[in-house]
Amino acid sequence: MGIGQLLALAVGVSMDAFAVSVCKGLSMKNAGAKAQAICGGWFGSFQALMPLLGYFLGTLFAAAIEAVDHWVAFGLLGIIGINMLKEAFSSDCDCCQNANADLSVKTMFVMAVATSIDALAVGISLAMAGNVNIFLAVAFIGATTFFFSALGVKIGSVFGSRFEKPAQIAGGIILILLGLKILQDHLDWLGRLKGWLGL
């Protein structure tokens, strides 16, 4: 997986944390650098930790399912992406309804874990995809999530929640496309189609 794909993955994974950070910022009258750093630190750390754990879990049984590992990676990324899209388009699901300005350890821990569960599955999918520098991927994910979370707090405090749903939609689409790219790399269906068409 190249640098471009890793960056796209990092952006996709970070969009849930970005959406929650926008809601956090919305609940604050004046979101300063401290609030941005706290949200960025919590979300960035957990979004980096979970894929690392998922990757090492995935490597435990990667050899046993080597024949279908690309399907597993595609399935996990596809499910996460579809869930993000469903949440974005669901009128019942709006994190901003319950947003508050609390930045205590207990509150941020719960929110960081909740927004990073999907990243555990992403780590497993990376183990299935193979040819991935997991430490580089984790660094990208952590840094990107920190940036978008800090940015989200500021955006939420200034502009409100208008960027929450577009971020979830973008994240969902990116993860689905990455899943398709992994499948394409293993099956090369585009190459076969060109062969069948004589191109």
Q: What is the pTM of this model?
A: 0.73
Q: Which residues contact 9 (CB under 8 A, 6 or more apart)?
A: 1, 122, 137, 140, 141, 174, 175, 178
Number of neighbouring beta carbons within 10 Å of residue 154: 19
Tally of structural domains, the chain: 1
* C-alpha–C-alpha distance, residues 18 and 34, integer Å: 17
pLDDT given for residue 94 in this prediction:
53
What is the domain extent for residue 10? 3-197
pLDDT given for residue 183 in this prediction:
75
* C-alpha–C-alpha distance, residues 109 and 17, integer Å: 13
pLDDT digit string (tens) for the chain, length 199 residues? 778 888 888 888 888 888 888 888 877 767 788 889 999 999 999 999 999 998 998 888 766 666 666 777 778 778 877 877 887 777 555 555 555 667 788 888 988 888 888 888 888 888 887 778 889 999 999 999 999 999 988 888 887 666 677 877 887 887 788 778 777 777 776 666 666 666 5
Which letter does DSSP use for residue 131 in this model? S
pLDDT given for residue 178 in this prediction:
78
